[in-house]
Amino acid sequence: MSELSHEPVLQQFPDAEWDEAAGAVIVPLGQARTMAEWLLGQGVDYCSNVTGVDYLEREVKEKITNDAGEMETVTRTEPARIDVVYHLYSMQNKTGPLVLKQRTSRDNAEAESLTPVWRSCDLQEREVFDLFGVNFKGHPDQRRILMWDEFEGHPMRKDYTEPFDYEWEPTPHNEILEKHQKGKVIV
Amino acid sequence: MRILGGGIFKGMAVTLRNFVGSYLNKKERLHTNDYSWRADGALPQSIGDYPKEKGEQLSDTTTVTEYSRNFPMLLHDGGEPMDTVRCVACQICERECPPQCIYIEKDYDENGKYIKRPAVFDIDVSVCMSCQICVEVCPFDAIVMNSQFELSTPNRFGGLLVRRDDLLKSNDYYHKIHPEEAASRDQKMAVEKAAKEAKKKAAAEKAKAAAEKKAAETAKEEAK
Amino acid sequence: MSTAATPNYELIQQDGLETNLLEVSMGPHHPSTHGVFRMDVKLDGETVVDLRPVFGYLHRNHEKLAENMSYLSSMPFTDRLDYFNSMTNNWAYALAAEKLIEVEVPERAEYLRVIMAELTRLVNHVSLVGFFINDLGALGTPLLYAFREREKILDLFEQASGARMMCNYFRFGGLRNDVPEGWLERAAKVVDHFPSFLDEYEQLLCENEIILSRTQGVGNLPRELAISAGVTGPMLRASGVAYDLRKVDQYGIYDRFKFRVPYTDGDTGDCYDRFMIRMLEMRESIEILKQALAGIPEGEIMGNAPRVFKPKPAESYGRIEGPKGELGFYLIADGTPKPYRYRVRPPSLINLTVLRDMCLGGKIADAVIILGSIDIVLGEVDR
């Protein structure tokens, strides 16, 4: 199957970045809806998958050549962020995939909803809202989908801790859970 | 011309054919599972085959197939189980098990040194989902799947936790229930053992050759 | 309310009597909702005015569990996503993971993968048609005729992998074990008998006036809405789009087999179209099976995947044409033996986007039939 090239997207929207390692187009802030409508006009009519990915603040070691021409390892901190990843295909031309990523911070996570452009983002963006806590601006019906409505917290975040469950009955294998939670068994 | 209701009558003709056919043509209409590949062509179904003693299994526990699996068991190579048990309590199956139903504790001797045996090896029947991942990741071929399925017990609070001594079964029993798989495992273990022996011998030869060479060199030095 | 198609009904007020809408929760315990699925419907008499699907009763947070386990250990959990088709779930996951490392799958393993996937497609379509007719009111007869054939195929699965439904058979780089002796002959016997069973089944069902009048014209799904809503699988093909991943992506060795893709000729699809598309797809699956069983070579089963699966940091999205639609797995690896992000793209959930549009304006009995024709399995909707 032929690939959907990202070059026209980068030409049309000069602010967009291309992430080579992930093979994705990083959507600039505020332009997600316009980019989506332009893509729909180009024949990209099928949004296959909408996902959220949570990154905590972490240190990344990179090997770069410094001014003296040697390789050295440089540590930099990547800020915490939540990505919303869209996989887009074209059913007319039978090409794809094109990957878009909307980046937002973890504290006040907001993104633009692409539901008015592709209807399939409807339930999937609701799931990202439910499990990650990203507020989608312009979503017609944003409420929890997999957890019950009064649930607090966002389970798929990396720092989510389960609340104390007083109904849980101890079974003979809860020692294993404790052992793994204490970190005794190393992978 | 099309009669209204003609389609329904056609459908009823099919039902009637199946109904009458289930008396006349039993093989096709009534029995559907094909057991022709078994020795006697059928599953053990009569009451007489059912075990009478407690702890005895159905005489033919390869219930359907060679690969049928229900619950794990630990293998030992005959004789006193804890002397020849293959498990060394490396805990790889414990951490790879998807529902985390295995609980292992290593065995230490009186000096506190780790000896290669499990002291505690519990598997929870109510949690185990017979996925066979523990069998695949074990590097010592120590845990394999048993097809015994009568594991029910009236004891609610501990009866479903199968302990180490109940899990130990001999290699001969494994040959009886899964002959092909057991044979291939034994062959693989023999090949690995032969390879290890050959490597050890080669290393010993090399060390001997090196020692001889060194002795020759020192002799030459002294002679000089 | 959401911007759906405008419904074509009118609230009739008779002689100044105030009528209220009746709210019924076709709750999670319901024999015809295919699992723990709830629909809150607002009724005006018998006409559906509003419909709101509620799910999450089977949510096991499979995606977060997989972040704490190695790649191989989450293979048994993929069986339990769409529990009718465990083999195709396994294949989608193996495909996504094999894109992260360079591994070559041997020929015999590829042929066996196709055979297992097409047998799974037969199992799924035949059970679906049975349950669909069951929802219409034919309590049991077509369902159990279908289950007779399903039993034969489940026996084949048990002989190959050890379990009837939760097979756990695929591995990264091949399959777990080879099929036993005589399995291929038995599979050929089952496949040879299937067309005559399908002929009998069609004679039982396809001209039945009750089925025709209850499913034709019910649940219209226009083509543009289907494409925009991300609907895939037989539902999409029933609305007039010839998009089948086995022909578009050509994953595995599907480019070697000659088969056709049935789709409707027109702009909309109704329940009867979806039912007939599935019957036709079963016949095409039998074609593929005959070619695969005839051409399977001897050889080994497992390519040389590393013993500890530790891919370099990369992302991959692997998708297959499952019996219900496009099943995709999105994996982000970060160099450790556990995935950083593991996501399942569930076809049943995304096909449910259009449930409300199809049901508005119809009767409540039609809502049950439309839900049956979408073919959902709650294990996949909720994960």
Residues of B in contact with A180 (CB under 8 A): 95, 100
Q: How far is B123 from chain C (nearest CA, A)?
A: 17
What whole-number distance in Å separates Cα of residue C168 and Cα of residue C158?
Answer: 11
Question: Residue C343 and residue A49: Cβ atoms within 8 Å?
Answer: yes
Q: Which residue, A126, A42, A131, A124, is CA-closest to A82?
A: A131
Cβ-defined contact of B33 to C168 (cutoff 8 Å): no
pLDDT value, residue C1: 34
**pTM (two decimals):** 0.87
> Which amino acid appears at position C226 of this protein?
A
CA A43 to chain C, closest CA, distance in angstroms equals 11
pLDDT at A66: 67
The residue of C208, C210, C216, C300 whose CB has the most chain B CBs within 10 angstroms, and thus the best one to mutate to test that interface, is: C208
Look at A120 and C249 and tell me if their CB atoms are within 8 Å. no
Closest CA to C231 of C357, C89, C382: C357
pLDDT for C364: 87
Write out chain B residues lying below 8 Å of A177, CB-based.
100
CA C112 from centre of chain: 20
Q: What is the mean pLDDT of residues B208-214?
A: 85
Rounded mean pLDDT, B167-188: 83
Quote the longest CA-to-CA distance of chain A: 63
CB of A181 within 8 Å of a chain B CB? The answer is no
pLDDT of res. C8: 44
Considering only CB atoms, A119 lies closest to which of C229, C332, C337, namely C229
Q: Which amino acid is residue B82, in one-letter code? A: M
Look at the alpha carbons of C124, C126, C129, C130 in this order and tell me if their dihedral is positive or negative.
negative
Indicate the pLDDT class of residue B160, thresholds 50, 70 and 90. confident
Mean pLDDT of chain B: 79
Judged against a pLDDT cut of 90, whether residue B19 lies above it is answered with no
Q: How many Å apart are CA B15 and CA B6, to the nearest integer?
A: 14
Position of tokens 């109704």? Answer: C270
Contact A113, A135 (CB under 8 A): no
Cα C9 to Cα B6: distance, rounded to the nearest angstrom: 34
- Degrees (nearest 5) of the Cα angle C148, C80, A86? 120
Give the Cα separation of C336 and A82 in Å (integer): 21
Q: Does B145 touch chain C (CB under 8 A)?
A: yes
CB neighbours of C259 closer than 8 A, spacing ≥ 6? Answer: C246, C284, C287, C288
Would the pLDDT of B29 be above 70? Answer: no
Q: Which of C357, C353, C355, C383 is nearest to C371 (CA)?
A: C355
Residue B170 host element (H or E)? strand B168-170
Of B7, B15, B33, the CB nearest to C207: B7
C116 vs A42: CA distance, rounded Å: 38
User: Does A185 sit within 8 Å of B122, measured CB to CB?
Assistant: no
At C43, the amino acid letter reads L
Say what the pLDDT of residue C5 is.
45
Q: Do C59 and A141 touch (CB under 8 A)?
A: no
Radius of gyration (Cα) for chain B, nearest Å? 29
| Tokens representing residue C289 in the block | 């099976």
A183 inside 8 A of chain B by CB? no
> Tens of pLDDT along chain C (383 residues)?
333 344 444 455 555 666 678 888 888 887 776 788 888 898 888 888 888 888 888 888 888 888 888 898 889 999 888 888 899 999 999 999 888 887 888 999 999 999 999 999 999 999 999 998 888 888 888 888 888 889 889 888 888 888 888 888 998 888 988 888 888 988 998 899 899 889 988 888 888 888 888 888 888 899 989 998 989 999 999 998 888 989 888 888 898 899 999 999 888 888 999 999 999 999 999 999 999 999 989 888 888 877 778 888 888 998 999 999 999 999 998 888 889 999 999 999 999 989 988 888 888 888 888 988 988 888 889 88
Q: Chains touching chain A at 3 or more Cβ pairs under 8 angstroms?
A: B, C
Residues C191/C293, Cβ–Cβ less than 8 Å: yes
Q: How many CB atoms lie within 10 A of CB C266?
A: 12
User: What residues of A are in contact with residue B89 (Cβ under 8 Å)?
Assistant: none
Cα distance between residue A134 and residue B111, in whole Å = 57
Q: Smallest Cβ distance to C59: which of A87, A140, A146?
A: A146
In angstroms, rounded to a whole number, what is the distance separating the alpha carbons of residues B114 and B106? 7
Report how far residue B130's alpha carbon sits from residue B21's, in angstroms, rounded to the nearest whole number.
Answer: 39
pLDDT 10s digits, A59-107? 877 777 666 667 777 787 888 889 899 999 888 888 878 888 888 888 8
Distance CA A63, CA B39 (A): 66
pLDDT of residue C268: 86
Chain A: nearest CA to C308, how far in angstroms?
Answer: 11
- Give chain C's contact residues with B (Cβ, < 8 Å): 69-70, 72-77, 141, 145, 148-149, 151-152, 155, 158-163, 166, 168, 176-177, 180, 182, 186, 189, 200, 203-210, 212
Answer whether residue A187 shows pLDDT above 50.
Answer: no
> What is the reported pLDDT for B37?
61
Pairwise CA distance, residues B93 & B115, whole Å: 18
> Closest to A187 (Cβ–Cβ): which among B95, B122, B160?
B95
Q: List, for residues A29-58, the tens digit of each pLDDT value.
A: 788 888 888 888 888 888 888 999 988 888
H/E run at residue A65 = strand A58-65
Report residue B213: phi and psi, to 5°: -65, -40
| Interface size, chain A vs chain C, as Cβ–Cβ contacts under 8 Å | 88
Output b/e per residue, B149-172; b: 16+ Cβ within 10 A. Answer: eeeeeeeeeeebbbebeebbbbbe
- Residues of A in Cβ contact (< 8 Å) with B94: 176, 185
pLDDT tens column, B50-85: 555 555 555 444 445 677 788 888 888 877 877 788
Is pLDDT of B43 > 60?
no
pLDDT of residue B205: 87
Strand order in C22-26's β-sheet? C22-26, C38-44, C47-54
pLDDT in tens, B108-133: 888 878 888 888 888 888 888 888 89
Rounded-to-integer distance, Cα C297 and Cα C313, Å: 35
Question: Which run of H or E residues covers position B48?
Answer: none
- Please give the pLDDT value at position C11: 53
Q: How confident is the model at residue B89 (pLDDT cuts 50, 70, 90)?
A: confident
Residue C365 neighbours by CB under 8 Å, 6+ apart: C46
| E-state strands within B7-158 | 71-76, 102-108, 114-124, 143-146
Tokens of C267: 């702009």
Choose among C109, C83, C251, C104: nearest CA to C168: C83
Q: Does C326 touch chain A (CB under 8 A)?
A: yes
CA distance C64 to chain A (A): 6
